[in-house]
Amino acid sequence: MPQIVQKSRSVSRRSVVCSGLAAPAVIGTALLGDASPAAAFRDNVTFGDVHILRFLAALEIIEADLWEQYNEIYGIQDSEVLGGSGNPTFTKALARLDADMSQYVHDNTEDEVSHFMFLNAYLQSKGARPIDLGPFRNLVGSSAAGSSGKKRITNLMQLTVDTSWWTRYRSRTANPDLGGTFAPVIPGLLNGKFPAIPRNNGDVANSDHVQAIANTAAFHFGTIEQGGSSLYPQLAQRVTSPEVLRILLSIGPTETMHFQTWSDKAGNMIAVTDPTNGLMFPDPGSFDGNEDLQANLIMPEPTVFLSSSFPVCSIIRPTETDDAAARAFAGLKASGLFIGQSDSFFATMNDLAAKADRARRGEQGERD
Ligand SMILES: [Fe+2]
Ligand SMILES: [Fe+2]
């Protein structure tokens, strides 16, 4: 572990305050000119660690915001997950994929809330500023029955959903980290902007439209959670503190547990074509015998990892760490999840991502 030395005289008060990265006690030390070595954050947590944790906290707030919208429509509203009252028509449509979907939506939502609350509390415990995306909670969400109607950070009503994770995890020969590319299992979801929740009560009128919206949600669940499954191991490679590493190694696999569940459930999609926009979901039984598509191949197939000179290995993919935060946020942006958001939202998130991506294992990292 490198020692973290507080170069007190070289740090202006403004740069420290603006970074949001130093506790008042540290600022005081800097102003007093105490040259004695002191950790900038408690317990040898580096500036780089804090940048990574802050980006993850922001993404977890985003995840919680979108999952709360799903829970209000499709999930179970209770003391563990507050908000909304459920939409029976859409809950029933999603339950055609699995009778327990509402429970799974509820539990995924609660998990995301716990992730950002923990990360923010941990940041504060080390003298770092937590993340608050409250100023960006301005989007008007669903007005359909069941929705709480509160303002949102994310938009689930104009999604372009990349379902290439389906073939990526079934491939035995390709890895995105080694240049592999993968076809989406539902190509239509990449060619338009589709609601994953009812936009208003008019969306209930046609049963095929209802089912297509529920199917879209079912695939979007997997798309979101496979992203988390990669992001934690990607960023874990660049943290320094063993405790921060423990946090990333402990949260990350819960994202994978979510992904595994959604990967299984999406394979129960109901064959339907949306009469309002032509979005088509095939009969998953038509995939039988095709290893790249077969619905019950829900565990990762072994594939090439690090180098083709090694035997294939069953792994999370991708895990390349370079620009991982920026790529994760860019992927979410490309999906339409933030349609309607302000320039300052994108500037804030891009800044958090860039700082996380500049963190290096074993280095103190930048203060601002
Ligand atoms: Fe999460
Ligand atoms: Fe997640």
Q: Are 146 and 86 in contact (CB under 8 A)?
A: yes
Residues 6+ apart with CB under 8 A from 282: 186, 269, 271
Residue 8 has a pLDDT of 33
Check whether 10 has a pLDDT greater than 90.
no
What is the percentage of the chain residues whose pLDDT exceeds 70?
Answer: 89
More confident residue, 347 or 43: 347
Per-residue pLDDT of 122-175, as tens digits, reads 999 999 999 999 999 999 999 999 999 999 999 999 999 999 999 999 999 999
Question: Of the given ranges (9-23, 153-167, 175-189, 249-263), which has the lowest mean pLDDT?
Answer: 9-23
Q: What is the pLDDT of residues 305-337, one digit of tens each?
A: 999 999 999 999 999 999 999 999 999 999 999
Distance 281 CA to ligand 1 centre (A): 28
The whole-number average pLDDT for the span 74-79 is 95
Distance 189 CA to ligand 2 centre (A): 20
- Domain borders along the chain are 1-40, 41-358
The rounded Å distance from CA 126 to ligand 2 centre is 24
Q: How many CA atoms within 13 Å lie on the side-chain side of 297?
A: 22
Report residue 4's pLDDT band, with 50, 70 and 90 as the boundaries: very low
What confidence score (pLDDT) does residue 27 get? 32
CA of 275 to the centre of ligand 2 (A): 31
The reported pLDDT for the residue numbered 40 is: 64
Residue 178 confidence (pLDDT) above 80 = yes
Q: Are 168 and 181 in contact (CB under 8 A)?
A: no
pLDDT in tens, 333-355: 999 999 999 999 999 999 999 99
pLDDT for residue 18 is more than 60: no
Residue 356 pLDDT exceeds 80: yes
Query: How far, in Å, from the CA of 177 to the mean position of ligand 1?
Result: 23
Angle at CA of residue 222, ends 118 and 322, nearest 5°: 65
pLDDT over threshold 50, residue 75: yes
Is a pLDDT exceeding 50 seen at residue 21?
no
Ligand 1 centroid to Cα of residue 218, in Å, is: 17
Please tell me the distance between residue 60's alpha carbon and the centre of ligand 1 in angstroms. Answer: 5
Could you tell me if 361 and 242 are in contact, meaning their C-beta atoms sit under 8 angstroms apart?
A: no
Q: Let me know if 296 is exposed, middle or buried by CB neighbors in 10 A (0-12, 13-18, 19+).
A: exposed
